[in-house]
Structure 1
């Protein structure tokens, strides 16, 4: 009996495409959100800091209106915050924070904001705001831990996906603002593009800035891009663009696409066993503790039969398989297709054409596409 149960647990979960994930039944998540919010009241954890703004002197040289003004007032509650216009960026305002935000508090903020009467009014447009944090250093022990979890060789050179982890709390702070047009809860990460302008070493100090752009209709809601930029000494060395989809009841993008017949899966060059520990280990090194990746109950509450791997882990694992065969500077782009259930076995395939790569990740049993990517 025990063996039979274990085999059932090892079987791949029912295939869910991105469209099926966002079209799934709408559930009442209040109980789950209350549970997570209550966890934020545990000893040693404090809610996001709020202070009286009357004693702060922010240098704002012009009138700010709408969502940008609300986010500016909110973020100016942290002592040491500087506010200024962004040269050459239209109406965008730059807000420099004194330190990187804490991701855990931001997730609690997002879940609390999803409760009735606590979310405030979401703006119809993207706020013209750019957030920045300077002087971010690399903890080599954390880098080594990340390398092990994602399959990279231990080295002082940062993997292409590692600056995303370093700067993600800043992007998360932007996305959890009450006026941000798409709520973080229920958002789907559908694509990611990273440009490495030059190799970045662990001893270098990075300055990050982030902003959102290209809010656009989609057949199931709205999409937008969150841009995260890493610079060293004023020179941009890394850029990541994360595309997110927010499901909305009244979508504005037209009829659903016909996905047609599934193309044949390419021949696999490797197979990887993805265990439940991948979800918990990547959550630990990335700070992304979304329960759909770490908890069977949490995954079910959000419509998944069991936990799924982080999309950025899948991207990183594919790049790790190409480690040592990539140029000094390149752009890697991926589209996330079917989720990778935990546990499961995935098949990796890669084809080189000149200096370019095309790669993919498929379910080893069903052949369902989970990720497709290119390096150029």
Structure 2
């Protein structure tokens, strides 16, 4: 794998313009670029973190929210997906799953190094999928990792195994009900840099086949994990799969339950949770687990 150093976060506005301009020329392919982007000396802007916390429902703490390193690495991920060797157009990719493993809490005061690369191009029942893998180091130790899975819709592949759901919670008896405003996509875009037009305005969302703007998947994950703030163990994996988009504005229902067991089947009440996000009509938006 070829490591390329980044001295600063990539310019996301320029990358999105590049993505739009290059969309017609993308021909597809069977390989992902072997580039790895590395950015060192990353520090946290406390004002930016405070605004992220407000949008996603986290409180102000000495520890970073578990989803915040995703924001720090997002520019490098988009750069990978707009590089000449990337086989698919950025526009039209669907974020279908995300897994974060935290080995210990990251402190706001720590200086971080992040490494981002592409991996595991494979068939999907609705096309092809791949992962963006991110590792975050502090004091020379990898303490946070992430795998974000994206789908490129295309010719169905019946040989592809369907993904296992990360939780089986059905609609009903919600733990909380959230009313999501119409400008939520714009607010999250301002703190995340993810200005995909499907999230910003009903008119731009309609151009891509959505009746209204939709919420970002990573906002949904962050908002769900904010419910567990102060209750998560120091080491855990938080996994989600994204189902139907959350239209804005809307009302959604959050449900959680204690699984009572860890990943090996041992009794471990309180620290292993399944959770889900549904519409008021019962349609699933997100299913997740913390282990």
Unmatched 5+ residue regions in structure 2? 163-167, 261-268
Does the 8 Å CA contact 1:121/1:178 hold for their aligned counterparts? no
1:327 to 233, 237, 256: 233
Say whether the 8 Å CA contact 2:124–2:161 is kept in structure 1: no
Match of 1:240 in 2: 146
1:293 corresponds to which residue? 199
Structure of higher CA gyration radius: 1
Q: Structure 1 residue 199 and structure 2 residue 105: aligned?
A: yes
Please report how far the alpha carbon of residue 360 of structure 1 lies from its aligned counterpart in structure 2 after TM superposition.
0.4
The number of aligned residues is 276
2:85 is paired with a residue of what secondary structure?
coil
Report the CA distance between 1:156 and its aligned residue. Answer: 2.6
Question: Alpha carbons of 1:334 and 1:256: their partners in 2 closer, same or farther (altered >3 Å)?
Answer: closer
Equivalent residue for 1:356, pick from 260, 267, 272: 272
Partner residue of 1:72? none
Where do 1:256-335 residues align within 5 Å? 264-335=170-241
Quick check: 1:375 aligned with 2:290? yes
State the superposition RMSD in angstroms. Answer: 1.7
CA distance in 2, matches of 1:131, 1:256: 30
- The Cα shift of 1:232 comes to 1.1
CA distance in 1, matches of 2:128, 2:204: 25
Q: Distance in 1 between matches of 2:153 and 2:257?
A: 34
Match among 185, 194, 201 for residue 91 of structure 2:
185
1:254 shift after superposition: 4.4
Cα distance in 2 between the residues matched to 1:263 and 1:199 = 28
Deviation at 1:266, TM superposition (A): 4.0
1:65-112 CA-partner distances (Å, limit 9, x unpaired): xxxxxxxxxxxxxxxxxxxxxxxxxxx111112222111111111111
Q: After the TM superposition, which residues 165-184 of structure 1 pair with which residues of structure 2 at under 5 Å, given as runs? A: 165-184=71-90
In the other structure, the counterpart of 1:112 is: 21
Partner of 2:55: 149
**TM-score, normalised with respect to structure 2:** 0.91
Q: How does 1:49-198 map to 2 (within 5 A)?
A: 92-115=1-24, 119=25, 122-198=28-104
> What SS does the aligned partner of 2:144 have?
strand
1:311-330 CA distances to partner (integer Å, 9 max, x unpaired)?
00000000011111111111
Q: Distance in 2 between the 1:242 and 1:164 partners?
A: 9
TM-score, normalised relative to structure 1 = 0.71
CA 275–356 in structure 1, closer or farther in 2 if over 3 Å, else same: same
Inter-CA distance 356–311: structure 2 relative to 1 (3 Å threshold): same
